[in-house]
């Protein structure tokens, strides 16, 4: 494959974005390009390379972006004739042939940003690694040799304010942020800043009272409560009666797997209920955006 196309794919993946390689895999009759022609399309719709240009390429880019959003590779048939062809997308062109294009979708390795490497943070790293996450750790503790033993790719150490700033700089689309630091004031700052990013989900370790107070505070600060209900998951884990840090880590891993597989499981997450209660309350009406 062309080095430019490989580089484009890797750039998207390194930035946490999905990307598709579109390749002509079969051809009958006349068409703009031959078998083997390739084009890279990112989830932002940008393309690298060409498979023929014009209306056909615009249609293919649209199909590629849709496949990327669905996270599924697919084979698509395109017609360049002036009559209907079974199973083929019409391009409006009349070269006379038919092309088959395989849209191969690449998804970056999911990334977990774990804030706090304490009693729960350490076994949580092990579980996250086992279920396929790339690991990034933020903590105030400089004695983090254990992080490298657990397969952590990046470690950031500093005071709380520095780490809060690092959250804004570091977290990207589709990342999962786990706030397991353990100090209530710091935890709120980490949650608040994480929700300002494009993180897929923000997971908070804490009691139901702590979660309730956090959500109320977020509402008073003007956060969109629908977004809070969608992305903030707290308390974290499935209700398996977990008690020890290791058991809590297992329950979080189980919730992650259930979320990924689309399986309904009994989560401890109470944020949607808190948001619904706040919005039902007369005083809560002032929280809507």
> What angle, rounded to 10 degrees, do the helices at 160-170 and 184-195 form?
20
Q: Are 234 and 203 contacting, i.e. CB atoms less than 8 angstroms apart?
A: yes
pLDDT for the residue 18: 95
Which of these, 264, 284, 263, lies nearest to 273 by C-alpha position? Answer: 284
Quick one: how far is CA 146 from the chain centroid?
A: 26
Q: Please give the structure tokens belonging to residue 224.
A: 């969109």
Between strands 98-106 and 89-90, the pairing is unpaired
If asked whether residues 51 and 186 sit together in one domain, one would say: no
**For 15-132, where are the alpha helices, taking DSSP H only?**
54-70, 121-130
pLDDT tens string 114-159: 999 889 999 999 999 999 999 999 999 866 666 777 778 888 999 9
If asked whether residues 40 and 93 sit together in one domain, one would say: yes
Average pLDDT score over residue span 236-252? 92
pLDDT tens string 11-62: 999 888 999 999 999 988 887 788 999 999 999 999 999 988 788 889 999 9
Report the sign of the C-alpha dihedral through residues 210, 215, 220, 222, in that order. positive
Q: Which of 106, 126, 161 is the last residue of a domain?
A: 106
pLDDT band at 253 (very low <50, low <70, confident <90, very high): very high
pLDDT for the residue 143: 67
If asked whether residues 159 and 90 sit together in one domain, one would say: no
Range of the domain at 158: 111-287
If asked whether residues 91 and 127 sit together in one domain, one would say: no
What is the side-by-side order of every strand in the sheet holding 47-49?
A: 47-49, 38-42, 19-28, 98-106, 74-79, 89-90
Question: Based on the structure, what is the number of domains in the chain?
Answer: 2
If asked whether residues 276 and 160 sit together in one domain, one would say: yes
If asked whether residues 121 and 52 sit together in one domain, one would say: no
If asked whether residues 117 and 256 sit together in one domain, one would say: yes
If asked whether residues 80 and 188 sit together in one domain, one would say: no
The single residue listed with the structure tokens 């390194």 is 14
If asked whether residues 91 and 140 sit together in one domain, one would say: no
If asked whether residues 14 and 31 sit together in one domain, one would say: yes
Q: Are 54 and 32 contacting, i.e. CB atoms less than 8 angstroms apart?
A: yes
pLDDT for the residue 53: 76
Q: Please give the structure tokens belonging to residue 249.
A: 């880590």
Q: Which of 106, 126, 142 is the last residue of a domain?
A: 106
Q: Are 203 and 252 contacting, i.e. CB atoms less than 8 angstroms apart?
A: yes
If asked whether residues 244 and 139 sit together in one domain, one would say: yes
Residue 266 has pLDDT above 90, yes or no: no
Q: Quick one: residue 74, left, alpha or beta (phi over 0 = left, psi -120 to 50 = alpha)?
A: beta
Which of these, 127, 138, 131, 123, lies nearest to 261 by C-alpha position? Answer: 131
Domain CATH code at residue 275:
3.40.50.720
pLDDT band at 180 (very low <50, low <70, confident <90, very high): very high
Q: Which of 75, 106, 137 is the last residue of a domain?
A: 106
pLDDT tens string 67-120: 999 999 999 998 888 777 777 777 776 677 888 999 999 999 999 999 998 899
Q: Rounded to whole angstroms, how far apart are CA atoms 142 and 124? A: 19
If asked whether residues 191 and 225 sit together in one domain, one would say: yes
Q: Rounded to whole angstroms, how far apart are CA atoms 23 and 1? A: 11
pLDDT for the residue 265: 86
């Amino acid at each position: 494959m062309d080095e430019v196309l490989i580089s484009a794919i890797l750039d998207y993946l390194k930035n946490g974005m999905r990307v598709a390689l579109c390749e002509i895999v079969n051809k009958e009759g006349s068409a703009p390009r031959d078998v083997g022609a390739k084009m890279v399309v990112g989830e932002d719709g940008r393309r690298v390379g060409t498979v023929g240009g014009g209306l056909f390429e615009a249609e293919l880019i649209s199909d590629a972006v849709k496949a990327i959003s669905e996270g599924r590779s697919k084979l698509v048939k395109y017609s360049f004739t002036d009559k209907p062809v079974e199973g083929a997308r019409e391009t409006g062109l009349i070269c006379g042939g038919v092309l088959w294009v395989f849209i191969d979708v690449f998804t970056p390795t999911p990334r977990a940003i774990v804030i706090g490497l304490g009693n729960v943070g350490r076994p949580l790293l092990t579980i996250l690694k086992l279920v396929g996450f790339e690991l990034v750790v933020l903590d105030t503790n400089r004695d983090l040799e254990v992080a490298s033993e657990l397969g952590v790719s990046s470690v950031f150490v500093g005071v709380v304010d520095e780490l809060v700033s690092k959250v804004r700089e570091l977290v990207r689309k589709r990342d999962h942020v786990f706030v397991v630091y353990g100090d209530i004031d710091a935890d709120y700052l980490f949650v608040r800043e994480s929700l300002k990013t494009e993180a897929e989900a923000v997971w908070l370790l804490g009691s139901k009272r702590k979660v309730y107070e956090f959500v109320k505070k977020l509402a008073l600060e003007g956060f969109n409560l629908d977004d809070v209900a969608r992305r903030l998951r707290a308390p974290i884990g499935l209700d398996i009666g977990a008690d020890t840090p290791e058991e809590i880590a297992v329950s979080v891993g189980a919730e992650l797997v259930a979320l990924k597989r689309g399986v309904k499981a009994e989560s401890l997450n109470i944020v949607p209920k808190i948001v619904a209660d706040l919005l039902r309350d007369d005083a809560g009406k002032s929280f809507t955006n």
